[in-house]
């Protein structure tokens, strides 16, 4: 059991109130689970209870409501449940499994109970394999960078590309970035991978120049953790210098979520990037909790409209939201890229709406280096 950052609760409500809160919670738990065997605190704000098996799962929904009414509405108590405990395993390992399950819902608003099950066990196994092999994978160049063209509607030519990483694992085979990026983010390895992809993008720009291909900017994805590195802008500047790349040709894609936690710090970092000559693109705008404030507040060059917005507009045959977003970006002097454009209809609608750039399967999927070069060569 854990309450979200108990430290911040202590600061907000005072230690005494929070001690009382723990006691109230304990009383509720004892009422709810009269035959629990043993319980206690196992770490910072994490508590563990060993409970006699309850064949009836109704108690779980009661558990989920256990903090209701205590200390305001902001309190969220989350539970990781391990059933059919393996009695040959050390108790600490069973606790680890519950915590592992908890990790999955830590940031999920409104989800308070999670079960450790076979699916999670299997996921954990794969996650361990990924964690064990990622360093070697980087050394052995198992990561490949694909490029997805961004089409410029103003002149009907390619106006850029996004570098997207691919991993062909020697035993697991192709692993989708959606599966390994979150693991790398949790482990911190993502910062190494992002720099690797950035370097590959620089090499690609150099190759385009050497091959006499049209020079279009290439963007790479930065993660929240990259922002913890004060030297980030300096490091990528060193890479562009090594390959002799004009810095405005390298774009950095950042997401709003990455900016949410510490906006002042992110503003400083993005300013630093732009002062170095790099362009900044705000990725996935319109997904999740987007805020108009961030568009205005963050030092940006481009707004990338999330594909969910395009999909929805297409389904409803109503592009007014897309139109407003594009108009707003234009008002703020930002370039626009609409992501996930899959059909001619969508392309034509976007063409009507402001002639920004579009990226999506309609023009091209992400393609390997050689294919990207051939793609550009057609326009040379």
**Contact between 161 and ligand C2E (CB under 6 A)?**
no
Q: Which of 283, 350, 353, 359 binds Ca ion (CB under 5 A)?
A: 283
Based on its alpha-carbon atoms, the radius of gyration of the chain, rounded to whole angstroms, reads 25
Residues 344-363 within binding reach of ligand C2E (CB under 6 A): 359-361
For ligand C2E (CB under 6 A), the number of binding residues is: 23
d(CA 206, CA 245): 7
- In degrees and rounded to multiples of 5, residue 339 shows phi and psi of -95, 155
In this chain, which stretch among 9-17, 30-38, 290-298, 340-348 interacts with ligand C2E, using CB under 6 A?
Answer: 340-348
Residues 322-351 within binding reach of Ca ion (CB under 5 A): 339
What is the smallest separation between the CB atom of 210 and ligand C2E, expressed in angstroms?
Answer: 23
What is the smallest separation between the CB atom of 128 and ligand C2E, expressed in angstroms?
Answer: 21
* Closest residue by beta carbon to ligand C2E: 360
Contact 347, 338 (CB under 8 A): no
Instruction: Provide the 10 A C-beta neighbour count for residue 291.
Output: 12
Q: Which of 253, 256, 301, 346 binds Ca ion (CB under 5 A)?
A: 253
Contact 297, 267 (CB under 8 A): yes
**Contact between 229 and ligand C2E (CB under 6 A)?**
no
Q: Which of 158, 283, 303, 309 binds ligand C2E (CB under 6 A)?
A: 283
Q: Which of 45, 268, 342, 371 binds ligand C2E (CB under 6 A)?
A: 342
Contact 337, 281 (CB under 8 A): yes
Residues 301-320 within binding reach of ligand C2E (CB under 6 A): 307
d(CA 56, CA 34): 14
Name residues whose C-beta falls within 8 Å of residue 154's C-beta, 6 or more positions apart in sequence: 355
The dihedral formed by the CA atoms of 8, 10, 14 and 16, expressed in degrees to the nearest 10 = 170
Residues of this chain that interact with ligand C2E (CB under 6 A) are 148, 164-165, 176-178, 181, 190, 194, 197, 220-221, 223, 283-284, 307, 340-342, 359-361, 366
């Amino acid at each position: 059991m854990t309450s979200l950052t108990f430290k911040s609760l202590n600061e907000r409500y005072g230690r005494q109130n929070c001690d009382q809160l723990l006691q109230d919670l304990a009383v509720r738990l004892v009422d709810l689970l009269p035959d629990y065997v043993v319980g206690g605190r196992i770490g910072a704000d994490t508590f563990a209870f060993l409970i006699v098996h309850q064949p009836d799962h109704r108690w779980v929904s009661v558990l989920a409501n256990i903090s209701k009414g205590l200390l305001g509405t902001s309190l969220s108590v989350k539970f990781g449940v391990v059933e059919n405990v393996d009695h040959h395993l050390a108790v600490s390992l069973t606790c680890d499994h519950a915590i592992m399950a908890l990790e999955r819902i830590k940031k999920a608003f409104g989800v308070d109970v999670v079960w450790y099950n076979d699916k999670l066990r299997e996921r954990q196994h794969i996650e361990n394999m990924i964690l064990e092999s990622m360093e070697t994978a980087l050394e052995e160049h198992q990561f490949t960078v694909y490029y997805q063209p961004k089409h410029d509607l103003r002149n009907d030519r390619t106006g850029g590309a996004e570098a997207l990483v691919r991993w062909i694992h020697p035993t697991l085979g192709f692993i989708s970035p959606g599966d390994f990026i979150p693991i790398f983010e949790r482990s911190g390895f993502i910062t190494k991978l992002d720099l690797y992809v950035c370097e590959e993008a620089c090499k690609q720009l150099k190759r385009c120049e050497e091959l006499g291909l049209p020079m279009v900017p290439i963007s790479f994805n930065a993660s929240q953790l990259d922002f913890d590195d004060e030297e980030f802008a300096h490091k990528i500047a060193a890479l562009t210098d090594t390959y002799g790349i004009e810095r405005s040709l390298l774009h950095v894609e950042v997401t709003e979520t990455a900016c949410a936690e510490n906006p002042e710090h992110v503003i400083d970092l993005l300013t630093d990037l732009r002062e170095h000559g790099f362009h900044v693109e705000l990725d996935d705008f319109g997904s999740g909790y987007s805020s108009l404030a961030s568009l205005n507040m963050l030092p940006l060059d481009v707004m990338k409209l999330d594909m969910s917005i395009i999909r929805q507009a297409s389904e409803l045959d109503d592009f007014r939201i897309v139109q407003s977003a594009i108009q707003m970006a234009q008002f703020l002097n930002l370039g626009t890229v609409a992501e996930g454009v899959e059909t001619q209809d969508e392309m034509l609608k976007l063409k009507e709406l402001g002639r920004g750039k579009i990226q999506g399967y309609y023009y091209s999927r992400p393609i390997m280096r050689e294919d990207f070069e051939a793609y550009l060569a057609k326009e040379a």
